[in-house]
Structure 1
Amino acid sequence: MRTLLSAAALVSLACAAPALAQTQSVSDATGDFLSGYTGPQLADLDVTSFSVSYDATAKLFTLGTTFAGAITPGTAGFYVYGVNTGAGAIRPFASLGQGNVIFDQAIVVQKNGTGSVGGTALDPSWVAIAGNILTVKVPLSLLPSTGFKPGQYGFNLWPRAGAGNAAISDFAPENATLSASAAVPEPATWGMLMVGAGLAGGTLRYRRRRARPALAVG
């Protein structure tokens, strides 16, 4: 009975625990500027990795990007993160071989650390630049769902040197979107794992008690 009660307590604790952050990332080759790109081949327009994380407790997305070189304010270019929140209504890159890059909202970040979602400016503290690393935090409230759960949102990054498709230097991921969903146990799964551990521990203790030799009575 004590073992069962312990298992039930573990389930209760697991269900009460905060939701786990989910993260996915993708690497991108260095020097893979698009063949039709006509802008300057700057290292800070060449993506080498891109990650998406979603914290369900804080309701906050974190977008992390590394580039082939340090981000240099004052040089050409800026960064666009397309977000598919469910509608996936915009598909403008088929001519570039990127027909699976679909989005319905866009986050724009400048090399000076300013950014916006639609017509809403990002808080300056949400954008951080450190050498070749760009980190952008975006509250879920600025990316309302059009059908997807937050962990299902699809993200793609394309640096660009100006207007028009010929000004896009790179895509990450290539011809796809990256979601925050990760292969981590959900809270309910953690609960079952903890129950299993509790039951296994209880069974082991029971077996040890049965195997213990009886004490002689004088």
Structure 2
Amino acid sequence: MRKTIPAILGLLPLALITTPAHAATVVDATGDFLPTYVGPLLADLDVTSFSVNYNSTTSIFTLGATFAGAIDPATVGFYVFGVNTGTGTARPFAALGQENVIFNQAITIRKDGTGSIGAIALNPADISIAGNILTFKIAASLMPSTGYAPENYGFNLWPRIGTGNNNQITDFSPENATLAVITPVPEPATWSLMILGFGAVGGVMRHRRRSPRVRFAY
């Protein structure tokens, strides 16, 4: 019975190491339109959170964002996601105080649920818009590494109403930085294993406490 506890505990770090999911999230203030922005203050162009998830088993990224209001395809605006795969050198936003927004690829998602990366159209089935929530999936193969492992790619989101000038950009998330999925996150199956393991450890400990001790008189 004493061998049970080390055996169970030995499974827990293994479960954490083998989990394929990585994720990161940043919360963005509401109403923080850039002072340089010239355009309508639409709620669906005001980012309130931005997240990136990477599954190393499927090599699929899932990007998500929430906004201060429901996304309205009848109004102006679209969403650009900059990606730094390792050799990001584009720093076009220094004049906006966003010099650390670095990228070498850009994904565009439109309010009608279509999107593209460069000249490649994304599958509309991989893009979801529900109220103020936007999520989409993209294969890492569409963003080949130029030095970084995929879980170290840097991402930034900036809504905008046009491509003419930087004063058409409404917001950045994260501010003056990029978001990378460098922290492993246990998946539901892993959490179940951990919970069962801890439960088994507790059961063993209770059994040992309740076991009667036999004393011999000499």
Scaled by the length of structure 1, the TM-score of the pair is: 0.81
Identity score, percent: 57
The residue type equivalent to 2:182 in the other structure is S
Please say if residues 18 and 57 of structure 1, whose CA atoms lie closer than 8 Å, have aligned partners that are also in contact. Answer: no
Q: Alpha-carbon deviation of 1:9?
A: 10
Further displaced range: 3-12 or 110-119: 3-12
SS at match of 2:151: helix
Q: Secondary structure at 2:76's aligned position in 1?
A: coil
Query: What secondary structure, in the 3-state scheme, does the structure 1 residue paired with 2:213 have?
Result: coil
Q: Using the alignment, how far apart are the partners of 2:23 and 2:178 within structure 1? A: 14
In structure 1, the gaps of 5 or more residues are: none
Alignment of 1:180-191 (within 5 A): 180-182=181-183, 184=185
Matched, 1:37 2:37: yes
Partner of 2:122: 122
Q: What's the offset of the Cα at 1:19?
A: 2.5
Q: Aligned-pair distance for 1:134?
A: 0.4
Amino acid across the alignment from 1:162: G
Structure 1 residues 66, 15: closer, same or farther in 2, change over 3 A?
Answer: closer
Q: Distance in 2 between matches of 1:11 and 1:111?
A: 45
CA 1:5/1:65 → structure 2, altered by over 3 Å: closer, same or farther? closer
**How far apart, in 1, do the equivalents of 2:181 and 2:29 lie?**
21
Deviation for aligned residue 1:208: 5.8
User: Is structure 2 residue 107 aligned with structure 1 residue 99?
Assistant: no
Q: Deviations over 1:102-127 (max 9, x none)?
A: 00111100110000111111111110
**Partner Cα distance (1:120, 1:34) in 2:** 30
Q: Is the 8 A contact 2:113 2:128 kept in 1?
A: yes
Please tell me whether residue 135 in structure 1 is matched to residue 171 in structure 2. no
> Distance between the aligned counterparts of 2:13 and 2:28, measured in 1?
40
- Judging changes above 3 Å, is the alpha-carbon distance between structure 1 residues 182 and 17 closer, same or farther for their aligned structure 2 residues? closer
Provide the rounded CA distance (Å) in 2 between the counterparts of 1:20 and 1:110: 30
**Residue 166 of structure 1 aligns with which residue?**
167
Change (3 A) 1:12 1:36: closer
User: Over residues 12-47 of structure 1, what are the superposed CA-to-partner deviations in whole Å (9 max), with x where a residue is unaligned?
Assistant: 993798533111111111111111111221111111
CA distance in 1, matches of 2:131, 2:144: 31
**Residues 19 and 57 in structure 1, CA contact (< 8 A), matched pair in contact too:** no
How many residues align structurally? 209
> 1:66 and 1:16, CA in 2 relative to 1: closer, same or farther beyond 3 A?
closer
Q: Secondary structure at the match of 1:103?
A: coil
Matched, 1:73 2:70: no
Aligned to 1:86: 86
Which amino acid in structure 2 is aligned with residue 37 of structure 1? Y
Secondary structure of the 2:109 match is strand
For residues 17 and 158 of structure 2, what CA distance do their matches in structure 1 show? 36
2:113 corresponds in structure 1 to 113
- C-alpha distance 15-71 of structure 1, shift in aligned 2 (>3 A): closer
Q: Distance in 2 between matches of 1:6 and 1:46?
A: 51
Would the alpha carbon gap of residues 90 and 11 (structure 1) be closer, same or farther in structure 2, given more than 3 Å must change? same
| 1:125 counterpart SS class | helix
